[in-house]
Structure 1
Amino acid sequence: MKFLAVCGFGVGSSMILRMSIEKVCRELNLDAEVENTDISSAHGAQCDAIFTSAELQAELQNSDIPVYPIKKYMDLAEVKEAVQKFLEEQK
């Protein structure tokens, strides 16, 4: 599976979010590829889920790919909850 961590420019905060998602995936024993990217690139990307800020969620919600808002990118409990929600919705 492939996850995207998205921020406005695809450099700073999305990198932090990516690292948090990777930690959660290791903890959950998920085989997932996680990439960070900017909002423009995310529109055409092929992935299973997008994780981003609440501010960017609405702009990315126009596709068939589920989008999960994260408030605190370093909060592993919040990130884990979002990943688990994605997994639950895939059943």
Structure 2
Amino acid sequence: MRIIAVCGMGIGTSVLLKMNIDQALEALGETADVEASDISSARGAAASADLVMTSAELAPQLGDIDTPIAVVNNFVDQDEVREKLAAALDL
């Protein structure tokens, strides 16, 4: 499984979200390759991903992609990240 964490620049916030996704996956007993990405790169990378996690502001900028998008309101809220991940993965 491949998950992309997306922020505007792909440097700070997406790395923070990636780390929280990694922790959430561990808590859920799941494994995945998680990649931090900027919005421009994510458009192309989403085609080969199983899930994209990003903010409500950036989700529409991904365009019309077939990959499910999970919107996270607070990237540092571990409970929210875990809940959104579990819902997106039907766990």
Q: Which runs of 5+ in 2 are unaligned?
A: none
Q: CA deviation at 1:3?
A: 0.4
Structure 1 runs, 4 residues or longer, greater than 3 Å off: none
CA contact (8 A) 2:59 2:69 kept: yes
Alignment-mate amino acid for residue 84 of structure 1: A
Name the structure 2 match of 1:86: 88
Count of aligned pairs between the two proteins:
89
Whole-angstrom CA distance in 2 between matches of 1:63 and 1:14: 19
Identity, in percent, stands at: 40
Q: CA deviation at 1:28?
A: 0.8
Does residue 33 of structure 2 align to residue 37 of structure 1? no
TM-score normalised over the length of structure 1: 0.92
Q: Which runs of 5+ in 1 are unaligned?
A: none
Q: CA RMSD in A?
A: 1.2
Whole-angstrom CA distance in 1 between matches of 2:64 and 2:58: 11
Whole-angstrom CA distance in 1 between matches of 2:70 and 2:37: 15
The superposition leaves residues 25-71 of structure 1 with CA deviations (integer Å, 9 ceiling, x where unpaired) of: 01111111101000111111121000001100111251000111111
Counting only pairs closer than 5 Å after superposition, residues 6-21 of structure 1 correspond to structure 2 as 6-21=6-21
CA contact (8 A) 2:43 2:63 kept: no
CA contact (8 A) 1:60 1:67 kept: no
